[in-house]
Structure 1
Amino acid sequence: MTHSSREASTASLALGAIGVVFGDIGTSPLYTMKEVFAGHHPLVPSEANVLGVLSLVFWALTIVVSIKYVAFIMRADNNGEGGIMALIAMVQRAVPATTRLGWLLVALGIFGASLFYGDSIITPAISVLSAVEGLQVATPAMRPLVEPIALIVLIFLFAIQRRGTHHVGRFFGPVMALWFITLAVLGIANILTVPKVLTALNPIHALDFFVQHQGYAFLTLGAVVLAVTGAEALYADMGHFGRFPIRLAWFGLVLPALLLNYFGQGALLIRDPEAIRNPFYLQAPDWALYPLIGLATAATIIASQAVITGAFSVTRQAIQLGYLPRMQTVHTSEHAIGQIYIPFTNWAMLIGIVVLVLMFGSSSNLAAAYGIAVTGTMLIDTILGFVVVITLWRWNRWLAVAGLLVFLSVDVGFFAATSLKIVEGGWFPLMVGVMVFTLLSTWKRGRQLLLSRLQSGAIALRPFIEGLVAHPPVRVPGTAVFLTASKDGVPHALLHNLAHNKVLHERVVFLTVTTENHPYVPPEKRVEIEDLGHDFYRLVIHYGFKDEPDIPAALALCADKGLKFEMMETSFFLSRETIIATAMPGMAPWREQLFIHMARNAESAMAFFRIPTNRVIELGSQVEI
């Protein structure tokens, strides 16, 4: 690749990142300053207060986003992939989950992933509501229509998910680039009227603000944190765009545009304190108000789309890593492998969002619920990130602890401030997080118990094969593939087949699918074959937690290793377990019932692994847990 083509590729990736990665943090100017000065803990928009708040916003963006995420956390990549699931996988490699510390760290990471869903529900609701609220600035009579219009936009957005976003995705980058340019232009126009607002870059203003207001300044942090919501998306989407394009987009356009707009709103408030009713829209001249509302609505839809896509991605990774049952996953693009649609996640999120909009009714009310899930995830990212620093990177321990204390002091401050909003609405994302965590942990523990019960009564594979060779049943032409979670036990489906059909195929393959703590497994390492003799084979297929499981495609790779499959001569035997709750030690009775319900509604292995339906035989068995 030539130098010019590399530059063009980087620029293209940076533009794509602007459209996908920065939607959430990029729409924060719609409501952050309004919430600080006119929210649940309103602040008098005096010059000193405005400069103090702007200084807090500037240093929050600098420390949390520019230094912590862009410069530090993004270095913790798992083969190029980021996000809390990738971080969990790295921690599991460093500290085994079988140890008490390892279990605690993984549980903490899973709770952080659970909080992501709470954030994913609030982000579209508050973003779209805040954009549509521009209508009541233009025409106060439109106030009763804000909520219905926002709901229509949100319902339409979720309704089109099944069609995929690849057709409109190419417009995301240019639209969001126009949005950030507009933010910058509006900010500059207002800063020029009150240039002294730029003195807020001095951290002395933030310190003075805390000295003057003390406890009230702490409450203000709960609104200031809205400026950094979406920072974790830089890390989560690293695998799609790469570290350098995201950094280029952040420092080249997004950060300057955000700062200029926040400072422009500050200048407006110093000049006209009455503008506090909506400082974002009142930055614009009257003639530009309706076009700005349209652009803001488009930007919030794009931001919401990025969050929805992220929820689909996290769900798929959770399924692959064994924290959720198999779910129907629709691939919406033949070209973009990451373009997926998970109906259950889509409609569950929409229901949560509709409930939020109807319950809270305005972006200001929703701001009370916003922040605690984000700050909780950021706090967990910091802890897990420094575990990686100390255990995998082997940095100087004292240097690592010093950095940890700096970042933790900021994260804990923001988390504590947003925790005060639990009664006002912060309970909602926490409730969602706890519910999702319960599902994830119950499924993981249930699968462990189920596998343990199956293995405890399993017959050792090699002696069983020797017995079959010594007293062979009738062998029929073709290949039988038995899917099994255990590499050393005889699959129940094989025992049932022998008991009922009294025959054995001339070639028998015991197939185990494993998911590695890496995002992708290269094709040359996908399959592992062991010849057990007498036409019995053990086959292990390895997938990364972001790979697309496809057993027929994996079997095609076996030909190069001496094991060729003809699909029309191959039968797949699957065991479908009927799980029965008992008083045996394991989980609480209600969790056992929850696990059974989840297992009953899981997608079949046949569909999940893309096995042709006309080649599958399912045999049932009962298992007590």
Structure 2
Amino acid sequence: MKPAIVDKIDLEAKNALHQPFYEGKQAVGWATTLSLAFQSIGVIYGDIGTSPLYVFMGIFPDSDNPPSREDVYGALSLIIWSLTIIPLLKYVFIVLRADDNGEGGSFALYSLISRNCDIPICGTRQGDNVTLTSYGTAEIPHTPMDSNLIQRNPLVQRMLLVLVLFGTSLVMSDGLLTPAVSVLSAVEGITVPAPQLARYVIPATCAIMVVLFAGQKLGTGKVAVVFAPVIGLWLMVLFVVGMMNVAQYPGIMKACSPLYAVQYFLRNGKNGISSLGGVILSVTGVEAMFADLGHFSRRSIQLSFVFMVYPSLILAYCGQGARLILDPTLIKSPFFLTIPGTIYWPVLVLATVATIIASQAMISATFSLISQSMALGCFPTVRVVHTSRSVRGQVYIPVVNWILLAAVILVVVVFRNSTNLTPAYGLCVAMVMFITTIFVAIVMRYVWRWNLLVPIMFSCTFGLVDAVFAIVTLRKVDSGGWFPLMVAVGICGMQLVWKWGTDLKYKSELGSKIKLEDLLLDITPPGMPIINNPSDILVSKEVKYDDLHTETALRYRNFRPQILQLRDTNRIVSRLPGLALFYNNDRDVPKTFAHFLYHYPAVQDVVVFVTVRVVAQPYVDEEDRVRVTPIREFDGFYRCVAWYGYMETVEQGPQFVDRVTGVIDQITPRVGANRAKEAVTTYLLGKEMLFAKNGSGWLRTLMLESFYAFLENNAATAGWLVPRNETIVVGMNVAV
């Protein structure tokens, strides 16, 4: 029989399908959607919204050789159509639909594909495993199709895993460059009217970074409430200044025709193609729209981009293009030099604040991706703090936050200015866009079950655009692009090693699953009396049952003194006064428990195998907290599943123990769990350490016993609050 909490979750999922529209685990009304749309402006669009600061400089880096009138038209046409094809058509109207119960990003796509193609996740098939998020995302039933290419071919499955890990690593790597290039480009604006302040640019940028990352602990929701008005004002300034500049040369709107982009390539040849490395800067941050989906909702992001962000950006770029037509020398700083002098300083301050906020999109996206990666067993365990009761995807990861801060400051100090950073920027974006296209095409075919022609057309259309951008930006490798690529390869390698080691450990556990009846044997003599009132037994009187149990032990127990023996060694298992909580991840006996019992054949009178489950709702009612079932064959042995909401701390202290023992005393009152608890309560945590089998190669040995061991030793213990003074860690070495 399922616990009540499971029934509640199932009922919510069914009812939600009949609501106006479904976001995450909740039916979201229009008031909430509009609120989230406003908040999303402050988190998602800071990066793409501040791109007008440096895009034209990226396209025409040689400020001593101003662009011609025709080239300005061509470059502007490329920017307009890049914004239309990639963020608007591809992401807003197609990619955002491919969520996994409200979560976005590459891992969400991989989870969808895995569930529908029966790909093993975390060492097991999806049907036996907790997925990234629970079912109910879309109108589509998540049931596996008939056998297909992905399901039949393990090589394809491994390629998809490597691809998704590399894609998410690229996004995380991009998260290092986004804050650096955005804030640097804005702070450098003070050197236009006051060149003597140039030496303060680096210290000011680093100080701003410290404040930004220190505020992350407030949570995305609180940060968004502060940031949204600023970015909203920034977009309005872009819109108004753009209109003012366009009014000086209205003919610039002809650049909306794609003909100018075609002519630009025909006229400039290879140089025209190379300038795409600058054009792609206009869509940086687009992947954050999808990766940050869990922080907001699909409908809210669609509304904010279509009605606020897109028109503001188009007018901003058209305005800069208009002024460049009139005065090509403005290419030295086309944004700041086209701002009316009367509002220059207020706009400079606003630009600086906006670029600070621009970093938020990639920071939030990094938190989401790492949280998803951990859920799929591809990232070492770190403490995740949920910062919202209503939106499960809003998370904060302290250790990642401070590592990001240190890395961003290092990037700022090493690269020194935005001109040096711009060539390195955009490489990760282009590659991630191409990877996303591949996964969305697979989702179209195997999850949405669309006709094969549709994903082919999608791949040919958007994949071609992404591929061109990716190929062009690869030319940036030798001019700074090597840095984000190196970081991405490092993060991907770490995830692959962790995934590999975790799967080895799981397969080892799967190959040696142990049931309690396979471990222990009841050798209690027939007819042995049940002790109902142990307090009636005198302490001074020794009561023997085949010289195996004494009255001192029996006074803590009021049930039949069952005599247990280890099957393998025939050694008698002593029963000690007290309660033991042994943690495991499934219904079988932990291998570490068997290891412990083999070397030390003694257990407490009451042994509870505890499994912790976190469910897709903020809180769990106390009456639904635990489900305890006795192991019928053995007195005093129980299985317990503890349920927690994602906003709750996994608290395993006295209150939890009281609830467990209270349930035990209700279902088997003669065991006396509360009496055992008062004697002593012990928490036993199992830890398996992998080492390479004899004859393994040096690379396998190095990866397992050095790199994986290092990651495991530094991984968090899931953030559970377990009394340290009462905890015993049972370790064992496992050869794989």
TM-score, length-scaled by structure 2: 0.76
Cα distance in 1 for residues equivalent to 2:166 and 2:614: 21
Q: Does 2:238 align with 1:183?
A: yes
Partner of residue 438, structure 1 = 493
From 586, 589, 608, the equivalent of 1:509 is 608
- Give how far 1:12 is off: 1.5
Asked whether 1:602 is paired with 2:657, we answer: no
Asked if structure 1 preserves the Cα contact closer than 8 Å seen for 2:172 and 2:362, the reply is no
**Structure-2 residue corresponding to 1:135:** 190
Matched residue, 1:279: 334
Residue 492 (str. 1) matches residue 620 (str. 2): no
Residues 490/75 of structure 1: CA separation in 2 closer, same or farther (3 Å cut)? closer
Asked whether the 8 Å contact 2:58–2:277 carries over to 1, the reply is no
Partner amino acid for 2:608?
Answer: V
Quote the offset at 1:424 in angstroms.
0.5
C-alpha change, 1:47 and 1:179, in structure 2 (3 Å) is same
1:619 and 2:674 aligned? no
Counterpart for residue 342 of structure 1: 397
Partner of 2:149: none
Match of 2:45 in 1: 22
Pair 1:260-2:326 in alignment: no
Note if contact 1:379-1:411 (Cα within 8 Å) is conserved in structure 2: yes
How far apart, in 1, do the equivalents of 2:190 and 2:729 lie? Answer: 58
What's the CA shift for 1:559?
9.1
1:148 CA drift (Å): 2.5
**Does the aligned pair in 2 maintain the 1:451–1:485 contact within 8 Å?**
no
Q: Which position in structure 2 is the counterpart of 1:302?
A: 357
Letter of the 1:617 counterpart: I
CA deviation after TM superposition for structure 1 residue 345, in Å: 1.6
For the residues of structure 1 that align with 2:389 and 2:263, how far apart are their CA atoms? Answer: 57
Q: Distance in 2 between matches of 1:218 and 1:526?
A: 60
Does the Cα contact within 8 Å between 2:175 and 2:366 map onto a contact in 1?
yes
Compute the displacement of 1:337 (Å). Answer: 6.4
Deviation at 1:249, TM superposition (A): 0.6
Q: Which has the higher mean CA deviation after the structures are superposed, 13-22 or 98-107?
A: 98-107
Amino acid at match of 2:688: E
> Residues 131, 432 of structure 1: CA spacing in aligned structure 2 closer, same or farther, 3 A cutoff?
same
Report the CA distance between 1:33 and its aligned residue.
1.3
Instruction: State the Cα RMSD in Å.
Output: 3.4
Confirm or deny: 8 A CA contact 2:215 2:223 kept in the other structure.
no
Structure 1 residues 280 and 102, CA gap change in structure 2 (3 angstroms): same
The Cα shift of 1:412 comes to: 0.2
Partner of 1:573: 684
Instruction: Say yes or no: does 1:92 pair with 2:92.
Output: no
Pair 1:554–1:29, CA change in 2 (3 A): farther
Q: Contact (CA 8 Å) 1:108, 1:380: kept in 2 or not?
A: yes
Match of 2:700 among 585, 588, 604: 588
Amino acid at match of 1:353: V
Provide Cα deviations, 1:455-487, integer angstroms capped at 9, x if missing partner. 545644432245588742454566533223454
Aligned residue runs from structure 1 range 410-449, under 5 A: 410-449=465-504
Mapping for residues 114-193 of structure 1, pairs under 5 Å: 114-162=169-217, 168-193=223-248
How much has 1:274 moved relative to structure 2?
1.0
Gaps of 5+ in 2: 1-18, 21-27, 121-153, 525-561, 565-572
Are residues 106 and 557 of structure 1, via their aligned partners in 2, closer, same or farther at CA, if it must alter by over 3 Å? farther
Instruction: Give 1:9's aligned residue.
Output: 32
Secondary structure at 1:324 match in 2: coil
Shift of 1:7: 4.3
The equivalent of 2:552 in structure 1 is none
Aligned partner of residue 481 in structure 2, secondary structure: helix
Q: Is the 8 A contact 1:91 1:106 kept in 2?
A: no
Q: For the structure 1 residues 333 and 486, does the alpha-carbon distance in structure 2 shift closer, same or farther, using more than 3 Å as the test?
A: closer
Structure 1 position 502, deviation (Å): 1.8
Shift in Å, 1:425: 0.7
How many Å apart are 1:59 and its aligned residue?
0.9
Q: Does 1:61 align with 2:83?
A: yes
Q: 1:554 & 1:39 partners in 2: Cα distance?
A: 67
CA contact (8 A) 2:628 2:663 kept: no
CA contact (8 A) 1:455 1:486 kept: no
Counterpart in the other structure of 1:481: 581
Q: CA deviation at 1:504?
A: 3.1
Deviations 1:518-570 (A, max 9, x none): x77996999887654235444566899x7867365999799999989989676
Contact 1:97 1:103 in 2 (8 A): no
Mapped to 2, the partners of 1:424 and 1:409 lie a distance apart of: 25
**Which of structures 1 and 2 has the bigger CA Rg?**
2
Note if 1:36 corresponds to 2:27.
Answer: no
Shifted more, 207-216 versus 427-436: the winner is 207-216
Aligned-partner residue type, residue 95 of structure 1: C
CA distance in 1: counterparts of 2:360 and 2:106, whole angstroms: 19
Query: CA 1:329–1:568 in 2, change beyond 3 Å: closer, same or farther?
Result: farther
Residue 200 of structure 1 aligns with which residue?
A: 255
More helix by share: 1
Report the CA distance shift for 1:221/1:515 in structure 2 as closer, same or farther (over 3 A): farther
Distance (Å, rounded) in 2 between the aligned partners of 1:292 and 1:510 = 62
CA distance in 2: counterparts of 1:613 and 1:333, whole angstroms: 29
Q: Does the residue aligned with 1:113 lie in a helix, a strand or coil? A: helix
Identify which range, 520-529 or 583-592, moves more after superposition.
520-529
Matches of 2:170 and 2:731, distance apart in 1: 37
Alpha-carbon spacing, 1:43–1:522, altered in 2? closer, same or farther (3 Å) = farther
Counterpart of 1:588, as a letter, is: R
Alpha-carbon shift at residue 489 of structure 1 (Å): 4.6
* Aligned counterpart, 1:112: 167
Answer yes or no: is the 8 Å Cα contact 1:96–1:102 preserved in 2. no
Deviation, structure 1 residue 251: 0.9
SS of the residue corresponding to residue 334 of structure 2 reads: coil
Work out the CA distance in 2 between the residues paired with 1:199 and 1:274: 22
SS in 2 for 1:192: helix
Q: For the Cα contact (< 8 Å) 2:592–2:688, is it kept in 1?
A: no
- Is the Cα contact below 8 Å between 2:220 and 2:395 reproduced in 1? no
Alpha-carbon distance between aligned partners in 1 of 2:68 and 2:363, rounded to the nearest angstrom: 39
